Chain A
C-alpha cells in the first residue's frame, strides 16, 4: 500500500505538487494521470525518497521509504528507463541490483526471461538499446527483488503494441496476486485499460479521484440509432441533456440503463449503446486539467 498525505513540494516561487493525498491499495492498479509537468514524477520521486517534500508525507507499506531496510525487496521502482550508465550491459545492470539486494544470481536470468530480453541482448551495452528494451530492462530491475509494491513512471513509453499488451498482463497478474501497482501515464487509453483506480492531477493538485467505474460512469453514455432526431427528442422529453455529434451519435450524462429504457418506451431501435468510456475519460481529462494544458483549450 502507498499512502500519500498532504504532500506539497514547492520550488522557489513555484508549487510543483500542491497538497496531494491519495492511497494506492494492494490488489489494485492505480493509474496516476496528468498532463506533462502536472507533478506526477515529482510526487513519485518524493515517494521513493529522491526528493524531499516541502511538507506532508508519503509512506510505503506503512513506513517512509528511507526507513525500509532493503527497499528493493519491498518496492520496485522504475522512474526513468534511460537513467542508466550507457557503458554497462543489461545483465550488469541487473546484477548490480541483484547483488545490492542480496539475491541469488539466478534471479538475473529469471528476470531477463520474464521481460523477454535474449541472452545476446543482455550482453549488449545499454547505449545500444532501444527505448523499448530499456523499458523492459527497467521493469526487470523493478521486479527483481520480488517486491509487494510497484512504482512505475510512464512504463509504456517506447514499448510496441505487443510490449504494451505484455506489460498490461504482467501488471494485472501482479495486482491480482495482491501487489500494489502505481503507474503514471499521460496515455489515457493505456491507463483506462489497465487501472482499477484513477488519480488525476493537474497543476500539482488532484482534480479527480476514484475507481475507474465511478469516474467513467460520471462520464455518461453514447447512443446511436437509425432515427437520431427522434431519439434525441425522446431523451430530451425525458428531461435529459443531450448533445449530438456530427457522426450521428448522441451523448448524455445519464446511465446506459436509463437511455435504453427510454428508447424501449419510445419504440426506437438502437444500433449502439455504451458508456462513453474512452472519449469520456479523455473529455474529463481535458476538462479537469484545462487550466494546465499547454494548448490552453478544453475539449
Chain B
C-alpha cells in the first residue's frame, strides 16, 4: 500500500515539495455531472424526464384527434413536462450543496466558489440541451408510430428554427432554476420559490393587467413567462425579443449576480 509512505519529511525548508497542477474545468464538470446522477433522487429526477416524455407521447397517440397527429402536437405535449422538470435539475445541483451540506467538501476541494457555480450552470445547460434532443427523438418516434396506427400521413411541421427557440426557452427556464438554487441555497425553499415564480407570479401579473389598465403596456416588459411564451409560439418579433432581453435581465441576470456575490461571501457550514 502506497498510502502515507510518500509523505515527504517536511522541514522548514521543504522546497522539494511537489507543485500540483490546478484542477482543470473539464474535470470539475465531469465530477458535477456524476454528482447529478449518482444519488437515487438525482437519478430518478433525470429518469423522470425520459419517463414524462414517453407518457406524453403515449397520451398524444391515445387521445389526440387524428387530424392533429402532427409532430408539433407531440413536441408540445412532451415539451410541457420537460420544461417543468429541467429547472428543478439546475436548482438542486446548486441548492443541495447547502441542504445536504456537501458544500463543506466541495468548497474545500475547490475553494473558488464562483468557478464551481459557473461549471454547475454550464453542466445544467448541457443537460438541458441534451434532454431536448432526447425529447425530439421520442417525439419523432411517437409521430411515426402514432400516424401509422391512425393511418394518416406523417407530418414534420417543426422547423429547425422552431426547435432552436424551444431549446432556448427551456435553457432559460433551467437557468431560472439555477438562479433560485443559488439565491435561496436551500432545496425545499428553492423549489417553493420555483413554483411561486412559475405559477404564482404569472397569475399575479395577469390579474394585475386585468384590473389596472395602465399595467397592460408594461406587462410584457416585466413578466418573464409572458416573454418566454413568445419563444414557444415560434418566430418572435423584434419587440418580443426586446421583452425577453429585459425580463431576462430583471429575473435572471440580476439575481444571478446577487446570488454569486452572496455565495462568495457566505459561510459554508
Question: What are the interface flags for A44-63 relative to B under an 8 Å C-beta threshold, 1 for contact and 0 otherwise?
Answer: 01001111100000000100
Minimal beta-carbon separation of A221 from chain B (angstroms): 35
Partner of A97, one of B41, B42, B109: B109
Structural contact, B10 and A50, CB atoms closer than 8 A: no
Chain A residue numbers with a CB within 8 Å of B212 are: none
Chain B residue numbers with a CB within 8 Å of A83 are: 100-102, 104-105
User: CA–CA, A146 to B9, complex, Å?
Assistant: 13
| Residue A220, interface by CB 8 Å | no
- Which chain A residue has the least Cβ–Cβ distance from B96? A85
Minimal beta-carbon separation of A153 from chain B (angstroms): 10
Structural contact, A26 and B5, CB atoms closer than 8 A: no
Minimal beta-carbon separation of A94 from chain B (angstroms): 11
| Residue B107, interface by CB 8 Å | yes
Chain B residue numbers with a CB within 8 Å of A180 are: 10
Structural contact, A87 and B35, CB atoms closer than 8 A: no
By the criterion of a CB under 8 Å from any partner CB, how many residues of chain B are at the interface?
46
Structural contact, B107 and A49, CB atoms closer than 8 A: yes
Minimal beta-carbon separation of B5 from chain A (angstroms): 7
Structural contact, B111 and A87, CB atoms closer than 8 A: no
Structural contact, A174 and B20, CB atoms closer than 8 A: no
Minimal beta-carbon separation of B210 from chain A (angstroms): 45
| Residue A285, interface by CB 8 Å | no
| Residue A257, interface by CB 8 Å | no
Structural contact, B265 and A102, CB atoms closer than 8 A: no
Interface residues of B in 9-56 (CB under 8 A from A): 9-12, 14, 17, 19-23, 27-28, 30-31, 34-35, 38-42
| Residue B214, interface by CB 8 Å | no
Partner of A148, one of B8, B12, B112: B8
| Residue B141, interface by CB 8 Å | no
Interface residues of A in 152-194 (CB under 8 A from B): 173-174, 177-180
| Residue A72, interface by CB 8 Å | yes
| Residue B1, interface by CB 8 Å | yes
Structural contact, A72 and B104, CB atoms closer than 8 A: no
User: CA–CA, A178 to B16, complex, Å?
Assistant: 13
| Residue B233, interface by CB 8 Å | no
| Residue A39, interface by CB 8 Å | no
Minimal beta-carbon separation of B185 from chain A (angstroms): 14
Chain B residue numbers with a CB within 8 Å of A146 are: 3-4, 6-7
| Residue A6, interface by CB 8 Å | no
User: CA–CA, A86 to B34, complex, Å?
Assistant: 16
Partner of B10, one of A1, A45, A80, A87: A1
Closest 8 CB pairs of A and B: A178-B9, A87-B39, A83-B101, A26-B10, A70-B20, A69-B22, A83-B104, A66-B111
- Apart from A49-B111, A85-B102, list 12 A-B contacts with CB within 8 A: A1-B12, A51-B267, A69-B19, A70-B21, A72-B108, A88-B39, A93-B105, A111-B3, A125-B40, A177-B4, A178-B11, A180-B10
